[in-house]
A = this chain, B = another copy of it.
Amino acid sequence: MVFAESIQKKFPGFEAALTEQMELDAKFRQIPAGTELMRPGQFIRSTMLVLDGLVKVYREDGEGNEFFMYYLKPGDGCALSMTCMVGQETSNIAAKTVQDSEIIMVPLEKMDAWMNQYKSWYHFVVKTYRDRFEELLQTLDSVAFRNMDERLEFYLKRHYKTLGSKIIPITHQEIAQELNSSREVISRLLKKMAERGKVKLNRYNIEILDL
C-alpha cells in the first residue's frame, strides 16, 4: 500500500479504490534525467502519470526541427498518449525527462475500462484533455501571432512558472531549438531583454528579474 499512498499524495483527487487498482495494474518507474520516454513514430501502449520530476513534451518533424509544447509536472498526465490509444498514428511527438522522475505507466486497455468504473479517473482524463488543449492553443497563438521577442518572453515565463525558480538553467542553443529559431537570434533578443532589465544573463543560465 505504500505505492497507493504515494499516488494519493500527488493525485489527491483519486478515490482509494482507484489507487489500489493502480497498484495492481500500473507500473511504477524511476527514470533518470535526460531519458527519452517517447520517440516520434513509436507505438504507444500505455499512458503515463508523473509522480515526481519533470517531463518535457515536444514536437519533432523529420528534418531535425523540434518544438517545445509543454511540461508535465507531478500530478499531470499525458493527454497525448491517451489519444494515441488506437496506436495507429505515428504522431511526431517526443517526450524526455528533464529531471530524475517517477512515472506511473498505465496500460491503455485499463485506461478505457477505468473510465466507467472510477469517476475520479474520468474527471482526471477529461481535465487533462482540457488543460493540454488549452495549452496547445496558447502555443499555437504565440507562434501564429507573435514575434520572436514576445515568444521568448512567453517561453521564459512558462519555465519560470513550471520550475518555480527565477534561475532558468538553459543555454541559448537549447532555447533556439525549442522555439525553432537560431542561437544568434536568441542571443541578440536576450541581450535586448537584459538591457531593458528584464533578465540577467549568466553562463549556462538565465535569471529572471522582471517579466
Chain A residues within CB distance 8 Å of chain B:
59, 61, 63, 65, 67, 79-80, 83-86, 89, 91-93, 115-116, 122, 126, 129-130, 133-134, 136-137, 139-141, 143-145, 180
Give bound CA distance, A143 to B145, whole Å.
10
Contact A137 B180 (CB under 8 A): no
Q: Which of A89, A133, A139 has the most CB of B within 10 A?
A: A133
A145 pairs with B80, CB closer than 8 A: no
* A126–B116 alpha-carbon span in the complex (Å): 13
Q: How far, in whole Å, are A86 and B65 apart by their CA atoms in the complex?
A: 35
Evaluate whether A145 and B83 lie within 8 angstroms (CB atoms) in the complex, with A115-B122, A116-B116, A140-B139 already known.
Answer: no
Q: Offer 19 A-B interface pairs, CB within 8 angstroms, sorted by A.
A: A59-B137, A59-B140, A59-B141, A61-B141, A63-B145, A67-B140, A67-B144, A67-B145, A80-B133, A83-B129, A83-B130, A85-B126, A85-B130, A92-B141, A115-B115, A116-B122, A129-B129, A140-B143, A145-B180
